Amino acid sequence: MKVTILGGTGLLGKALMQAWSGDDVSGLGSRNVDIREKEGVREIVKKLRPDWIVLAAAYTDVDGCESNQDLAFSVNRDGAVNVAQAAKEFKARLLFLSSDYVFDGRKTSPYETDDARNPQSVYGRSKAEAELRLLELMPDCCIVRTSWLFGTGGKCFPDTILKLAASRPVLDVVNDQRGCPTYAADLAEAIVKLCRANASGIVHATNSGDCTWYEFAREIVRGGGLGTEVRPVNSAQMARPAPRPAYSVLSPQSLQAWGITTPAWQDALGRYLLARG
């Protein structure tokens, strides 16, 4: 199987390159191809002729998206459409990475794949609109929604917490947003399995279990062997440009339907801390 990973130099892209074995895999970063450039995308797909394209390239600065709306939509929506059109022309399957931010966070039970999209942020809207456009263009594409991604080799929440905890006696972290931390290495393994299973439709893929950012931070500090006090605060006390869903736990049922399960987020965090060193 020939696989092309767009966004191959990002947090998830690196994990995918590491996890994928036994297939002909190429990982391309923005220096190799800018997904906003329709003709450039077409030429790359024409040249490589992959069986699968995994689209992990995105503008993921959630707060940055609020002040750079044009950039957010040109990358996350229009760039995805460019990739889908090339995939369709050259008969490649497409797996697109989406987000829990397509939901409004008003539920109190895990989100299923057919729950209504109602994004509250520019980033969420750009991903939700991309989903709709891709499903129109390629009804057999696979859309993988994930959340709270962390991993080695890039900026992420645990990395930030560990750096802050090393220099501060007290950290204030929001305790009224609940979701599913997801280790890039575990998500990468799930994506490999989905492609090999010729998956289609919308799939929710996260580590199992859920927590608040405060609970996540407390476990990070404890696992890192640091004595920093972590205090719970509410979102209003830690105002950010982009609204966050208060509850964005994703149900594992759609992933389990493909015979795939993931470890608990606490187990994933332990492995991340070991890998980070």
Integer Cα distance of 28 and 6 in angstroms: 5
- Residue 171, beta-bridge partner list: 230
Instruction: Find, among 145, 147, 125, the residue nearest to 66 by Cα.
Output: 125
123 labelled catalytic = yes
What is the DSSP code string of 51-71?
SEEEE------HHHHHH-HHH
Tokens of 46: 């024409």
Active-site pick, 123, 183, 214, 247: 123
| Number of helices (H), then strands (E), in the chain | 11, 12
Q: Please, what's the b/e burial string for 192-227 (b: 16 or more CB within 10 A of its CB; e: otherwise)?
A: bbbbeeebbebbbbbbbbbbbbbbbbbbbbebbebe
Measured between alpha carbons, how far is 11 from 57 in angstroms, rounded to an integer? 10
- Beta-carbon contacts of 259 under 8 Å, excluding residues fewer than 6 positions away, are 193, 197
What is the arrangement of strands in the sheet containing 24-28, beginning at the earlier edge strand?
24-28, 2-6, 52-55, 93-99, 142-146, 201-204
Q: Which residues are catalytic?
A: 123
